[in-house]
A and B are shown apart, each in its own frame.
Chain A
Amino acid sequence: MIYIHQWGSLNRKEGEALDVKAALKEVAPKMVRRTDRFIQLALLGAYRAVDGNPIDPHTALYMASGQGNLAVFNRLRDQRYIDHQPPKPIDFINSLSNTAGFYVAQFLGLHGKNLNLAQHGFVAEMALLLAQNDLRLGKEDQVLIGGVDELLQPASFTRKFLGICDGRELGEGSNWMLLNTRKEGALASLEVVSGVMSLTEVKQHLEAVTKTTKVAFGLRCNEAAVNALLEGNALERFCYESGCGFYETAAFYAMNRFIEEGEGRMLFIENFEEDFRLFEVDVLQS
């Protein structure tokens, strides 16, 4: 079993105001220079997870993102093909896939493993699974894990990139948590189901779930799948969706919201194309 010891969230829905740079300047003024908004989101979310306190410098850092720092790639493209100029050195550096992770590690004084995962579909689940495996195998003693996604403007660009065809609200966020294998002092336990399931297999899995467990669905779960999974059982749904717009790593936001609620067990179900992935969070203390 792995345990969640600390968490921190930064979340914004489309249309809401959030001056990330100003907020970061208040807590880490030296980290603002040379960082762009994506990196600043990562820094601020991670800062909130550790509550400004130092953590073990050997803590590994796993950062997940649905689209990575796409804004910097857009800038590089514009500099090269519209302005016909070479890329700005800072933008070039910030375009490296793990630059945000580097800044977070530098900010928190971490010098352990530093991983970056970026993909469409299941990115939060895969990062959590990787952390679970590494902690269980003793490869890591502690992992600071987070999901960071930036809402790029115009929103139609982000919508197209993410493949979101309906009119649902988009969002952005930076949600982090500190994981290790020690139960003492933990806020919640976490169990990530390692395999991929079909809809039928998830349905069978739900039959064995206790009635006190709440079920939450990932934002990529389509309504038909949700209805099919809830049909014929009395499981209560944990609805976090009204608090966030769509972004690929919103699963981390759902976890943090559930822990914040202070009690109970949540089964989180995510869907991508025909596949489903599950994890469970059991709150031990608020």
Chain B
Amino acid sequence: MRGSEDEALKLRLKKMIIEECEKEDIEPEDVADDVELFSEASGLELDSLDALQISMGLQNQFNTRLGDSKEFRRVVTTINDLADYLQPE
């Protein structure tokens, strides 16, 4: 099953982002699957420091190490894209 079809995986990702970025006022269901996380439309108001925290969260909780900021920008776009990257099939 592709990651974007795996609701449990996507919920884990959302919880990880909320926890790592200390966005306690946001519920996982408030994070849309197909909206760019670092866009205004996401409502998350994430910045570069949050990107570092998410990168650490991916490493610690998903055992996935992103090489550099270029790779991070390519992989961490929407929840669906990130889930597909972690679980291609």
Contacts and interface: CB of A to CB of B under 8 A. Distances in A.
Check if A and B associate. yes
A90 B53 contact: yes
17 contacts: A32-B22, A33-B22, A33-B23, A34-B22, A34-B49, A85-B56, A85-B59, A85-B60, A86-B56, A88-B53, A88-B56, A89-B49, A89-B53, A90-B22, A90-B49, A90-B53, A93-B49
Contact of B56 (A32, A33, A34, A89): A89
Nearest to A83: B60
Nearest to B55: A89
Contacts, number: 19
Contacts of B59: 85
Chain B interface, >50% SS class: helix
A90 B47 CA distance: 13
B76 to A, nearest CB: 15
A268 B82 CA distance: 61
Interface residues of A, number: 9
Given A34-B22, A89-B56, 11 more contacts: A33-B22, A85-B59, A85-B60, A88-B56, A89-B49, A89-B52, A89-B53, A90-B22, A90-B49, A90-B53, A93-B49
Contacts of B53: 88-90
Tell me what chain A mostly uses at the interface: helix, strand, loop, or mixed.
Answer: loop
Interface in B48-74: 49, 52-53, 56, 59-60
Nearest to A89: B52
Contacts of A89: 49, 52-53, 56
A91 to B, nearest CB: 10
B59 to A, nearest CB: 8
Interface in A1-56: 32-34
Contacts of B52: 89
A203 to B, nearest CB: 54
Nearest to B53: A89
B64 to A, nearest CB: 14
A93 B52 CA distance: 12
What 6 A-B pairs have minimum CB-CB distances, sorted nearest first?
Answer: A89-B52, A33-B22, A89-B53, A88-B56, A89-B49, A85-B60
Nearest to B21: A33
Nearest to A25: B24
Contacts of A85: 56, 59-60
B58 to A, nearest CB: 12
B63 to A, nearest CB: 12
Interface string A58-93: 000000000000000000000000000110111001
Contacts of B22: 32-34, 90
A140 to B, nearest CB: 32
Interface in B25-59: 49, 52-53, 56, 59
A93 B50 CA distance: 13
Contacts of B56: 85-86, 88-89
Nearest to A93: B49
A90 B53 CA distance: 8
Contacts of A90: 22, 49, 53
